[in-house]
Amino acid sequence: MSSPSDHDPVDSAAGDRVTHATAARVILDAGGRAPLLPEARTAFLEALDQGWADPRRLHAEGRRARMLLDGAREAIAASVGARTPEVDLAPSHTASLHGAVRSVVRGRRRTGSQVVVSAVERAAVLNAADFAGDRVTVAVDRDGRVDAQELCAAVARPGVALAALQHANGEVGTLQPVGPVHDAARAAGVPLLVDAGSSLGHVDVGDAWDLLAADAGDWGGPSGLGVLVTRSGVRRSPDWPEDEDRWFPGGVSVPAALAAAVALQVAVATRSADDTARRRLVDVVRTRVTSDVPDVDVVGHGVDRLPHVLTFSCLYVEGEALLAALDARGFAVGSGSACTSSALEPSHVLAAMGALTHGNIRLALPRGTSATDVERFLAELPGIVAAVREAWGVGGL
């Protein structure tokens, strides 16, 4: 995989095309599971030797593992502008979101049980809100951006235990108005949970949050590690059995934690260059898909968005069929909601936006994606879409 500095202009890459029979795989689906950064791999392997012991043990090996684990939490805290004691590590991003919603609602049960969310939150947030309290859902516009005025009004009503708003939507890339929502939540005395699972390491997530959840696998760390940062003063109470690790019983892998922290440091340090390179490639895809593929709709905000995420919908065809056809030609892409696509269910995000919920292709470009790979995808996409439509008997529509 080339570095951002190796990118060539997309238009000049046509002469470098190779047939799909001999070409390498092109990975364009890094949402939530990005390729492991080399620095993270090195840190993980070293920690397997140095941090294998139980960090709760008092012997030298256990103390060494505890030192590595505390160092990982300290590095993550510094990357998000928090204090080390405010950082908890979870066995997954889903666990961090579930734990945040459940523990805050229980901790604030005297205030009320309502959880105010946007209609495009991850399924983990929506399901946790239904489980822990009474969900109040606020609509979004055609770009997938929540109605900030309506959400602020909902937060100000009596009985609200928690508000939850993603920093950006991981399916269509649209950034959310977390600043004004946080101001309104603070004025109402309601903590705001910000899901930065698609943002941290890619863009600056700022400090407009009371709880921040993130996913190490998304920024190039190992999968199977979530992060939950809780500002001091936020009242939480677990609703699960008591354990030595109060918030996420059983603890986490020390090597995974260290690798995640190293990957986040690298991602933050290279964020500006990565943003420029991937944003330019996504802009090219947005333009070319619209011009080269008939009956296609590119969704999400064109400017206020993540630099690496793009979803488009093709009329007259199912996303599963397109995904399979692209995979057969060497392209790994996503389809449907980033959090539910494995179930091949219609996207609740696109439905909330009023967009086409079938024939969806989601791209999430890994760091180092080359212009040559993007050009190859764009060159083959029109023919692949046409072939799938023809196979479905809708080629002439």
Residue 286 lies in a domain: yes
Which pLDDT does position 358 carry in this prediction? 83
Q: Alpha-carbon distance 163 to 185, whole Å?
A: 7
Judge if 172 and 300 occupy the same domain. no
Helices and strands, number each (H, E), in the chain: 11, 12
User: Which among 207, 236, 266 is the end of a domain?
Assistant: 266
Lowest model confidence (mean pLDDT) among 4-8, 78-82, 132-136: 4-8
Domain of 376: which CATH number? 3.90.1150.10
Determine, yes or no, domain membership for 217.
Answer: yes
Q: What is the pLDDT confidence band of residue 323, given thresholds at 50, 70 and 90?
A: very high
275 with 155, same domain: the answer is no
Is residue 49 domain-shared with residue 31, that is, in the same domain? no
How far is CA 293 from each of CA 1, 19, 300, rounded to the nearest angstrom?
27, 20, 18
Q: Minimal CA–CA distance to 322: which of 381, 394, 396?
A: 381
pLDDT exceeds cutoff 50 at 19: no
* Same domain, yes or no: 89 and 130: yes
Q: Looking at 161-165, 253-257, 307-311, 334-338, which range is the least confident one?
A: 334-338
217, 334: one domain = no
Task: Mention every residue, 6+ apart, whose C-beta is less than 8 A from residue 167.
Answer: 175, 176, 178, 194, 195, 196, 198, 199, 200, 203, 205
C-alpha 343/C-alpha 234 separation (Å) is 35
In a domain, 3, yes or no: no
Residue 320's pLDDT is what?
87
Q: Which amino acid is at 391?
A: A
Residue type, 87: V
State the pLDDT at residue 395: 66
Reported as a single tens digit per residue, the pLDDT across 31-81 is: 999 999 999 999 999 999 999 999 999 999 999 999 999 999 999 999 999
* pLDDT value at residue 244: 86
Confidence of residue 357 (pLDDT cuts 50, 70, 90): confident
Can you tell me the distance from the alpha carbon of 212 to that of 199, in angstroms, rounded to the nearest whole number? 11
Instruction: Return the ∠ at Cα 84 (arms to 70 and 217), rounded to 5°.
Output: 70
What contacts 179, CB < 8 A, 6 or more positions away?
Answer: 206, 208
232 and 147 within one domain: yes
Whether residues 212 and 323 fall in one domain: no
In this prediction, residues 7-29 reach a mean pLDDT of: 57
Query: Which two structure tokens, joined as six digits, stand for 364?
Result: 């999430």
- Structural domain harbouring 182: 38-266
Least confident of 90-94, 353-357, 370-374: 353-357
Domain boundary among 247, 266, 285: 266
3-state helix, strand, coil in the chain (%, to 5): 45, 15, 40
Instruction: Specify whether 342 is located in the same domain as 248.
Output: no
User: If DSSP states are collapsed to H, E and C, what string results for 111-172?
Assistant: CCCEEEEECCCCHHHHHHHHHHCEEEEECECCCCCECHHHHHHHHCCCCEEEEEEECECCCC
User: Quick check: is 16 in a domain?
Assistant: no
Please give the Cα distance from 9 to 167 (Å, whole number).
31
In a domain, 245, yes or no: yes
Same domain, 103 and 223: yes
The domain boundary, picked from 242, 266, 290, lies at 266
Q: Is the CB of residue 241 less than 8 Å from the CB of residue 88? A: no
What per-residue confidence (pLDDT) applies to 11? 43
Q: How many CB atoms lie within 10 A of CB 251?
A: 17
Written as one letter, the residue type at 45 is: L
Q: Which tens digit of pLDDT belongs to each residue from 249-308? A: 999 999 999 999 999 999 999 999 999 999 999 999 999 999 999 999 999 999 999 999
Give yes or no: residues 178 and 262 share one domain: yes
Judge whether residue 361 has pLDDT over 90. Answer: yes
Inside any domain, residue 66: yes
18 domain-assigned: no
pTM to 2 decimals? 0.90
Mean pLDDT estimate for the chain = 91
CA distance 203 to 175: 10
Q: Are residues 253 and 140 in the same domain?
A: yes
CATH (domain of 166): 3.40.640.10
Residue 15 lies in a domain: no
C-alpha 37/C-alpha 260 separation (Å) is: 10
- Distance of alpha carbon 318 from alpha carbon 168, whole angstroms: 26
> Cβ contacts of residue 100 below 8 Å, gap of 6+?
128, 193, 211, 213, 228, 230, 236
| Conformation bin of residue 170: beta by default, left when phi > 0, alpha when psi is -120 to 50 | alpha
Tokens of 184: 């309104």
* Residues 343 and 294 reside in one and the same domain: yes
Stretch among 122-126, 185-189, 343-347, 387-391 having the lowest mean pLDDT: 343-347
d(CA 304, CA 119): 18
Looking at the 3D structure of the chain, how many domains does it have?
2
